Amino acid sequence: MCGIVGYVGPSSALDVLLGGLKRLEYRGYDSAGISVVTNGEIQTQKRAGKLQVLIDQLSASPMADAQMGIGHTRWATHGAPTDGNAHPHNAGAEQISLIHNGIIENFSELKKKLVSEGIEFESETDSEVAAHLLASEFANTGDFEKSFVSVANALQGAFTILAINKSDPGLVMAARRNSPLVLGVGDGENFLGSDVAAFVDYTKTAISVGQDQIVKLRADGFELIDFNGNPVEHEEFKVHWDASAASKGGWESFMAKEISEEPQAVGDTLMGRLDANGDVNLSEFDGLSIENLENINRIIITACGTAAYAGEVAKYAIEQLARISVSVELAHELRYRNPVIDEKTLVVAISQSGETMDTLMAIRHASERGAKVLSICNTQGATLARESDATIYTHAGPEVAVASTKAFSAQITAGYLLALFLAHATGKTENLNQLGKELLSLPRKVKTTLEMTGDVAEFANQLKDIQSVLFLGRNVGFPIAMEGALKLKELSYIHAEGFAAGELKHGPIALIEPGQVVIVLVPAPSSAESLHAKVLANIQEINARGAKVIAIAEQGDDEVAEFAEKVFYTPKTDPLLSPVLSVVPLHIFSMELAKAKGLDVDQPRNLAKSVTVE
Ligand code: M6R
């Protein structure tokens, strides 16, 4: 949560900061602000609301440009989204300016001390304590760098802080603990950002700043030190995507663009990992030697939100193909329930951002207990990848819309690759090549599905006044039902619940009353153990009670049309692989319904894309 950008160099600081904030706005959009130093004075502008409110204010009252500065886009934790609580926070009679992402857990104790020394606070944020602490240290020592290091050591919790000082306008200081920070290495200019999107317009060379590290950033260079002031090693990496990949490129929303990229996300995730015979090659496993895998007797998949539903699909695939016991645990639950984890456990963490704090805490907990950690991650240089023994990158490209779509398709695809790899590694090779070949056809089939679901928009428009939608699925359709419900909740603010279809009679059927919309993921007629017939029976049960049934079914399944008001068909595939196809109409449905209600599909209320606090 919160997007952070810092810059020192010859370009227009206002352009760099506002451009960076625009790309980071998906991280939080409650308020935005910037600070620069011009003519030896700190200038700050900040406003509650989306970044555009700040941009409009800057047009109305322009500020002088500068060659350095810091910018922030906020997702509120402590204090409402108001102008006063917006960052940056200035202190020491406008001597310094500071921005913060995270939660300062000891802010109350620090604040009491500062108040007792006569310092007046202007906001309700935890962040403002860091600004006053820094100003007061600097007033005592006259050494900005040392004061900054001392403040980093005094704070507890999760923080990325960036600070500038009007007496040294060529310097931006930054510190990172439990919160993301990357450095962009330019030519005669350098950058800081919550992720590479902040500066990818200017440089593709980046450094992932490690845990408990401090950056001294100047135009002609930078230094990384630890919290004791000792130099630390760093490694550069290249950003593999262009700025255009993180722009709308003519689409009306990022979400529409990202749904259209689902075929490519699946294809790029498979590329180089599956040959034409369906043989899988995951060189990423180098960090986890085969001997380690042979010792594994269980897998725990951990993630949050949509990523956890991708994990549920991976569970079906791994258990079916590799016959290894898998459980899926929400990361925030796993971490705090003293789970049975040891060196025979493989923990698979799934995250688009690789910065979800709950997921990071879960893998740290697992590593401390001796487990090997494999991550499935979409973001280069992310903390999750740095802290895992091995990483399978999903190559979905930057995902900007808060609601995850193409990253979800890529995560499921990576789960299939993992299942195939584990099945090979454990000698369960029967039918694997056939499934591998079918997996290779998925990008084309996802594209066909997109073409087949052209009328979802019209249908969603007719339903725009509904109050509640239920989603039913079975086997691999169950996590897709959960995903459909989550997407609808977060985008349309409509009550939506996903259920396992078999659970219906155990309670949820009481919710069915005439007119209730129920979206049913119908298993393919060829699916294991006649689930098709069982789900059709479920449809009849809810039809009998007046429900309005919308089905997602495999092409050629004419039987379902007899019982559903509307059927969205998907191409035939192996039933295990069907989630990548059946989720497409659900993603489009949630987007179209939100649009029909006049809502912002890229930035739904109260949400942020990366949840970097627990
Ligand atoms: O970055 P992550 O994949 O770790 O994020 C996990 C969830 O916060 C995320 O999937 C969230 O549920 C999305 N907003 C769903 O669309």
Beta strands 372-377 and 345-351 are parallel
Ligand 1 atom with minimal separation from the 404 CA: 16
Quote the ligand 1 centre to 167 CA distance (angstroms).
41
Helix (H, G, I), strand (E, B) or coil at 161: strand
For residue 35, which phi and psi values (nearest 5 degrees)?
-135, 140
- Comparing C-alpha atoms, which of 541, 428, 420, 412 is closest to residue 482? 412
pLDDT at residue 455, as a whole number: 85
Quote the ligand 1 centre to 69 CA distance (angstroms).
30
Taking only Cα atoms into account, the Rg of the chain, rounded to an integer number of angstroms, comes to: 25
Q: Does domain 451-603 have CATH number 3.40.30.10?
A: no
Answer whether 351 contacts ligand 1 (Cβ < 6 A): yes
Atom 14 of ligand 1, nearest CA residue: 403
Buried b (16+ CB within 10 A) or exposed e, 416-443: bbbbbbbbbbeeeeeebbebbbbbbebb
| DSSP code of residue 156 | -
pLDDT at residue 232, as a whole number: 96
Query: What's the mean per-residue pLDDT of the chain?
Result: 93
- Taking residues 7-20, report their average pLDDT: 96
Answer whether 182 contacts ligand 1 (Cβ < 6 A): no
Atom 10 of ligand 1, nearest CA residue: 306
The DSSP bridge partners found for residue 226 are: 213
Ligand 1 pocket test, pick from 258, 348, 352 with the greatest ligand atom count within 8 Å of Cβ, gives 352
Ligand 1 atom with minimal separation from the 610 CA: 1
Helix (H, G, I), strand (E, B) or coil at 237: strand
Quote the ligand 1 centre to 610 CA distance (angstroms).
7
Contacts of 582 (CB under 8 A, 6+ apart): 477, 480, 521, 552, 570
* CATH code reported for the domain at 3-245: 3.60.20.10
Quote the ligand 1 centre to 408 CA distance (angstroms).
9
pLDDT at residue 530, as a whole number: 73
Ligand 1 pocket test, pick from 357, 388, 611 with the greatest ligand atom count within 8 Å of Cβ, gives 611
Quick check: 136 pLDDT over 70? Answer: yes
Answer whether 410 contacts ligand 1 (Cβ < 6 A): no
Amino acid at 149: V
Contacts of 123 (CB under 8 A, 6+ apart): 79, 84, 85, 89
Answer whether 591 contacts ligand 1 (Cβ < 6 A): no
pLDDT band at residue 611 under the 50/70/90 scheme: confident
Answer whether 420 contacts ligand 1 (Cβ < 6 A): no
Measured between alpha carbons, how far is 255 from 252 in angstroms, rounded to an integer?
A: 9
Helix axes 144-154, 127-141, angle to 10 degrees: 140
Amino acid at 66: A
pLDDT band at residue 337 under the 50/70/90 scheme: confident
278 neighbors 413 (Cβ within 8 angstroms):
no
**Which strands sit side by side in the sheet containing 566-570, from one edge to the other?**
495-500, 468-473, 517-521, 548-554, 566-570
Fold of 249-440: Rossmann fold (3.40.50)
Residue 199 to residues 23, 174, 205, Cα–Cα distance (Å): 9, 16, 10
pLDDT band at residue 307 under the 50/70/90 scheme: very high
Ligand 1 pocket test, pick from 195, 329, 351, 378 with the greatest ligand atom count within 8 Å of Cβ, gives 351
Quick check: 442 pLDDT over 90? Answer: yes
Quote the ligand 1 centre to 436 CA distance (angstroms).
28
Answer whether 352 contacts ligand 1 (Cβ < 6 A): yes
pLDDT at residue 609, as a whole number: 83
Quote the ligand 1 centre to 6 CA distance (angstroms).
26
Active site residues: 2, 609
- Taking residues 68-97, report their average pLDDT: 93
Ligand 1 atom with minimal separation from the 609 CA: 14
Atom 11 of ligand 1, nearest CA residue: 305
Common-topology check for domains 249-440 and 451-603 = yes
Residue 125 to residues 36, 74, 84, 149, 277, Cα–Cα distance (Å): 21, 11, 9, 21, 57
Quick check: 289 pLDDT over 80? Answer: no
Ligand 1 atom with minimal separation from the 611 CA: 8
Quote the ligand 1 centre to 376 CA distance (angstroms).
13
- SS3 track for 487-522: HHHHHHCCEEEEEEHHHHHHCHHHHCCCCCEEEEEC
Answer whether 163 contacts ligand 1 (Cβ < 6 A): no
pLDDT tens string 556-581: 999 999 989 999 999 999 999 999 99
Percent of the chain at pLDDT above 90? 82
Atom 7 of ligand 1, nearest CA residue: 305
176 neighbors 212 (Cβ within 8 angstroms):
yes
Answer whether 359 contacts ligand 1 (Cβ < 6 A): yes
Helix (H, G, I), strand (E, B) or coil at 395: coil
Answer whether 402 contacts ligand 1 (Cβ < 6 A): yes
Answer whether 403 contacts ligand 1 (Cβ < 6 A): yes
- Taking residues 304-317, report their average pLDDT: 98
pLDDT band at residue 290 under the 50/70/90 scheme: low
Answer whether 1 contacts ligand 1 (Cβ < 6 A): no
Answer whether 90 contacts ligand 1 (Cβ < 6 A): no
Q: Of 19-33, 279-293, 498-512, where does mean pLDDT reach its minimum?
A: 279-293
- Comparing C-alpha atoms, which of 137, 139, 29, 142 is closest to residue 86? 29
Helix axes 262-270, 406-425, angle to 10 degrees: 30
Quote the ligand 1 centre to 304 CA distance (angstroms).
6
For residue 209, which phi and psi values (nearest 5 degrees)?
-75, 130
Answer whether 375 contacts ligand 1 (Cβ < 6 A): no
- Domains of the chain, residue spans: 3-245, 249-440, 451-603
Measured between alpha carbons, how far is 305 from 610 in angstroms, rounded to an integer?
A: 11
- Taking residues 470-489, report their average pLDDT: 97
Measured between alpha carbons, how far is 483 from 385 in angstroms, rounded to an integer?
A: 24
Quote the ligand 1 centre to 413 CA distance (angstroms).
17
Atom 4 of ligand 1, nearest CA residue: 351
pLDDT band at residue 528 under the 50/70/90 scheme: low
Atom 16 of ligand 1, nearest CA residue: 403
Ligand 1 pocket test, pick from 29, 304, 487 with the greatest ligand atom count within 8 Å of Cβ, gives 304
- Taking residues 357-373, report their average pLDDT: 95
Quick check: 92 pLDDT over 90? Answer: yes
pLDDT band at residue 529 under the 50/70/90 scheme: low
Measured between alpha carbons, how far is 383 from 354 in angstroms, rounded to an integer?
A: 6
Ligand 1 pocket test, pick from 258, 306, 482 with the greatest ligand atom count within 8 Å of Cβ, gives 306
Residue 405 to residues 262, 308, 320, 568, 606, Cα–Cα distance (Å): 7, 13, 25, 18, 19
Quote the ligand 1 centre to 601 CA distance (angstroms).
15
pLDDT at residue 578, as a whole number: 97
pLDDT tens string 152-176: 999 999 899 999 999 999 999 999 9
Measured between alpha carbons, how far is 248 from 599 in angstroms, rounded to an integer?
A: 18
Amino acid at 536: L
Neighbours of 10 (CB within 10 A): 10
